[in-house]
A and B are shown apart, each in its own frame.
Chain A
Amino acid sequence: MTGHFVVLAQEAAVSNEFAQTLVDGISFGAIYALLAMGFVIIFKSTSVINFAHGGLTGLGAFLVAAFVTVLDFPGRYLTVLPEWGQWTLNVLTALLAAALIGVILERVFLRPMVGEALFAVAIVTLGLDIVVRTITNDWIGTNPRPLGAPWGLNVVDLGWVRIAWSEIVQILVTVALLAAIALFLRSRTGVAMRATAFDQETARAQGINVGRIFSVAWAIGAFLAGVAGIFFSVFPRRATGVDQATAFIAFRAFPAVIIGGLDSIPGAVVGGFAVGIAEAAANTYLGLEFLGSGFPGIVGYLLMLVILLIRPYGLFGTPEIRRV
Chain B
Amino acid sequence: MRKKSKWLALLLVLGLVLAACGDGEGGDTTTTAAGAEEPTTTAGEEEMTTTTAGEEEMAEIATDVGVDLEAQTITIGLLSDLSGPFAPLVQVINSGHEIYWANVNANGGINGLQVNLEVRDTGYVVDTHVQLYEELKSQVVAFGHSTGSPHTVAINPQLQADGILAIPLTWYSGWSDPAINANLVPHGVPYCIEAMNMIEYLTLEAPDATTIAIASSPGDYGEDSNAGARLAAEELGLEIVYDGTGLVNAADEATLAEVASGIAGSGAELVWVTTSPTPFGSIYGQALAAGFTGALWSGAGPTWNPALVGPDSPINEALASNFYVSAYYAPWGADSAGNQEVRELVEAAGAPPLDYYAEGVIEAKIMEQALRAAYDAGDMTQAGVLAAAKSLESVTFEGLAPDETYVGEPNDRVQRAQFISRPDPAGLADGTSTGVTLVESMYTSPIAEAYEFTETCFSLG
**A contact residues vs B (CB 8 Å cutoff):** 1-6, 8-12, 69, 141-144, 146, 148-149, 152-155, 157, 162, 164, 235-241, 243, 245, 248, 279, 283, 287, 293-297
Contacts and interface: CB of A to CB of B under 8 A. Distances in A.
A238 B88 contact: no
A148 B314 CA distance: 8
A245 B312 contact: no
Contacts of A296: 254
B255 interface: yes
B308 A3 contact: no
Given A2-B289, A153-B288, A245-B251, A239 B314 contact: yes
B278 A3 contact: no
Interface string B244-287: 00110111111101101100111100000000011001101110
Contacts of B285: 153, 235-236, 238-240
Secondary structure type dominating chain A contacts: loop
Contact of B258 (A3, A154, A241): A3
A9 B314 CA distance: 27
A152 B288 CA distance: 12
A3 B247 contact: no
B291 interface: yes
Given A69-B312, A144-B281, A2 B290 contact: yes
B158 interface: no
Interface of B: 87-88, 91, 246-247, 249-255, 257-258, 260-261, 264-267, 277-278, 281-282, 284-286, 288-292, 305, 307-308, 310, 312-315
B290 A238 contact: no
Contacts of B277: 143, 240
A153 B284 CA distance: 11
Contacts, number: 124
Contact of A2 (B87, B250, B286): B286
Nearest to B281: A240
A144 B314 contact: no
Nearest to B280: A240
B359 to A, nearest CB: 16
B257 A144 contact: no
A143 B89 CA distance: 10
B308 A240 contact: yes
Contacts of B282: 237-240
Given A4-B261, A297-B252, A236 B312 contact: no
Given A155-B291, A236-B289, A237-B253, 20 more contacts: A2-B290, A3-B257, A3-B258, A3-B260, A3-B286, A8-B266, A8-B267, A142-B91, A144-B307, A146-B314, A148-B312, A149-B314, A153-B314, A155-B289, A235-B314, A236-B286, A238-B253, A238-B285, A239-B288, A240-B277
Contacts of B305: 143
Contacts of A143: 88, 277, 305, 307, 310
A233 to B, nearest CB: 11
B18 to A, nearest CB: 23
B264 A11 contact: yes
A146 B253 contact: no
A31 to B, nearest CB: 11
B278 A240 contact: yes
Contact of B265 (A5, A144, A294): A5
A297 B250 CA distance: 12
Contact of A1 (B91, B254, B281, B307): B254
A299 B129 CA distance: 33
Most A Cβ at <10 Å: residue of B250, B255, B289, B305? B289
A4 B264 CA distance: 10
B252 A9 contact: no
A294 B289 contact: no
B90 to A, nearest CB: 9
A26 to B, nearest CB: 16
Nearest to A138: B83
10 A-B pairs closest in CB distance: A239-B285, A3-B261, A240-B281, A142-B88, A10-B267, A146-B312, A3-B257, A143-B307, A296-B254, A142-B87
Contacts of A279: 254
B251 A248 contact: yes
Nearest to B283: A239
A142 B265 CA distance: 31
A144 B277 CA distance: 9
B292 A146 contact: no
A164 B254 contact: no
A6 B289 CA distance: 15
A294 B314 contact: no
